[in-house]
Structure 1
């Protein structure tokens, strides 16, 4: 394969030409633009590492296939995490369950946590 500067230019041209379309394609699967961008970036990193193996391959088709597969893997992983998180909360009892509900930092709860931290710091400082 090409020397490192040539390899960099080749990868840069692939990134410039395909990254926006790959990101939009990934968003169809994962719905989060940030996650889609991470997936596309991971695919380009993999391409960079294995570029010598892809001399005679249609790079565009390869990239779209890589993005699709990584999106599907991401969704499978997300489902597994959600499944076990749900099971865990059903099995937790007593004070431990209260702790998890009180300190769940889901959307909208972070300001409460920050306020609690401020109040604790004031108490420690005084």
Structure 2
């Protein structure tokens, strides 16, 4: 790919692709890394892209990069703690959350898959299909685990209502 064409494509689409990645990843630095990795890949592999076909290819690659990021996050041991801290932080920004300790304990009691599905849906606001891709399960299994998580959370927190 010609350096001038590559540079023009980069300048024209970089910000839009970062904003697209931010829809999936609520961390600006990570979103920018994913977009930069996309551009590095197309440069290194000398992928022939034109103005007409760059966006469909880019959106798919960026979305897959975001999904891969979440897959790697699931592997990390402190994924649960980070998600719970994010929940706690979000609630502190909006209004004081009286039952954060009880919710944290209830989330910790969920079976591992239910907990991961619950956090990906409720904290990261991913769609069922995206959660299914990240976890390597079907959409129906995502729905099942989410239903179970909500049922268990309702049962665990019933005394608070």
TM-score range for the pair, normalised by the shorter chain length: 0.5 to 0.7
In the TM superposition, residue 53 of structure 1 has moved relative to its aligned partner by: 4.8
Name whichever structure is richer in helix by fraction.
1
Unaligned ranges ≥5, structure 1? 2-6, 87-126
Cα offsets for 1:57-82 (capped at 9, x unmatched): 71111111110000000011101113
User: For this pair of structures, how many residues does the alignment match?
Assistant: 81
Residues 3-82 of structure 1 correspond to what in structure 2 (within 5 A)?
7-54=2-49, 58-82=53-77
In the TM superposition, residue 30 of structure 1 has moved relative to its aligned partner by: 1.1
Cα offsets for 1:83-108 (capped at 9, x unmatched): 7888xxxxxxxxxxxxxxxxxxxxxx
Name the CA shift for 1:78/1:52 in 2 (closer, same or farther; >3 Å). Answer: closer
| Whole-angstrom distance in 2 between the partners of 1:84 and 1:30 | 14
Cα offsets for 1:21-62 (capped at 9, x unmatched): 10001011110001000000000000101234557x711111
TM-score w.r.t. length of structure 1: 0.56
Alignment RMSD (CA, Å): 2.6
| Whole-angstrom distance in 2 between the partners of 1:30 and 1:84 | 14
Name the CA shift for 1:81/1:60 in 2 (closer, same or farther; >3 Å). Answer: same
Unaligned ranges ≥5, structure 2? 82-161
